[in-house]
Structure 1
Amino acid sequence: MPHEWTKRPAPQGPVEAELQLWPHRSLPKRGFVAFIGGTAALIALPLLTMLGTPVLWVLLPFLGAAVAGIWWALARSYRDGEVLERLEIRDGTIRLTRRDRGRAERVWEADPYWVELTLHEGERPVPAYLTLRGNGREVELGAFLPEEERRALAESLQRLLARLGRR
């Protein structure tokens, strides 16, 4: 799952919780290496019949460029997906921090008693669009999560905010 409670709220006592969210990776790093290796091997297979002929030198740059292009595209996808959202609830403050690669850290804070959690249905760019509103701003939470996980996250956050005496 691309989200994890790193500090779960205790059943009794003061509510302290920490949640981390990140984009799902369907291709792990080991799979990335295996895919590039397999692609290079399959592309090189027809070259074996060309050994010793001038055609090999004509095809080699194009096949090398194909492998390099696939490598670049997958590496770019990994870099673009380096996003981390951290939601912290401590001492009467809820804080959402978003870290994107190549951008400054973005922070939103509010009093959890006044925070409104909304799961928008059909009126936003994605189904089950999840937002937090408070302190004069509305921020999106878990934009990169699949619809089912946004719904589950909304349910668990709703329960947590209810424990804070909000609802």
Structure 2
Amino acid sequence: MPYTWTDPDTDPGSASAARELHLWPHNSLPRRGLAIFVLTTFTLLMVPLLALLGSVLLWGILPFILMAVGGIWLALSRSYYHRSILEVLTLTEDNAHLIRHNPNGALQDWECNRYWVSPQMHTTGGPVPFYVTLRGGGREVEIGAFLSEDERRALYDELVTALRPRGAEPPR
């Protein structure tokens, strides 16, 4: 799953113990795979041009092949840029703090007393099915909207468990 929980390294009873949730979009093609894909595409597009070596037609077709390969590279690079999002939810004994690092470098920040934070799941009506939000401090903020439906359902269950007050029984 494209999110992980980090447990506190300090004594769990101390006030400085914090648990963090890191969320990021899934990229099915790593950067190295992107380079291999573009190089393979270029190579396969150049094979038919071997018959045109030494003719004027080669120079008429070559710019279009280069534009196609450049377009693929540009589109996939732009996709990587738009998916370079990181959300970090920090839970301390008394506080919940969510920071979203956007692709353009801007930060979005939300903080609330942990007692008042409640996770909400909107099965319909949100921008995506099973839309998960955190409500508290007079605001409602989204979390993990870029995850798949199954991942958002699992995230919601984990948030309910993580935000439950200590010693409280799980809901039935």
> What is the TM-score with the length of structure 1 in the denominator?
0.92
Gaps of 5+ in 2: none
Identity %: 46
SS at match of 1:97: strand
Q: Deviation per CA, 1:112-161, whole angstroms, max 9, x where unpaired? A: 11111111111222111000011110000001000101111110110111
For the Cα contact (< 8 Å) 2:87–2:101, is it kept in 1? yes
Are positions 1:5 and 2:5 aligned together?
A: yes
Are positions 1:87 and 2:83 aligned together?
A: no
Deviation of the 1:93 alpha carbon: 0.7
Read off the aligned partner of 1:115 and give its amino acid letter: V
The equivalent of 1:135 in structure 2 is 137
Moved segments of 4+, more than 2 Å: 6-10, 12-16, 163-167
Which among 1, 18, 21 is matched to residue 19 of structure 1? Answer: 21
For the Cα contact (< 8 Å) 1:131–1:140, is it kept in 2? yes
The equivalent of 1:34 in structure 2 is 36
State the alpha-carbon separation in 2 of the partners of residues 114 and 134 from structure 1. 5
* Aligned residue pairs, count: 167
For the Cα contact (< 8 Å) 2:115–2:165, is it kept in 1? no
State the alpha-carbon separation in 1 of the partners of residues 102 and 152 from structure 2. 19
State the alpha-carbon separation in 1 of the partners of residues 7 and 44 from structure 2. 46
Deviation of the 1:165 alpha carbon: 6.3
> What is the TM-score with the length of structure 2 in the denominator?
0.90
Aligned pairs (5 A) from 1:106-145: 106-145=108-147
Which among 70, 79, 104 is matched to residue 106 of structure 2? Answer: 104
State the alpha-carbon separation in 2 of the partners of residues 8 and 159 from structure 1. 16
State the alpha-carbon separation in 1 of the partners of residues 13 and 103 from structure 2. 37
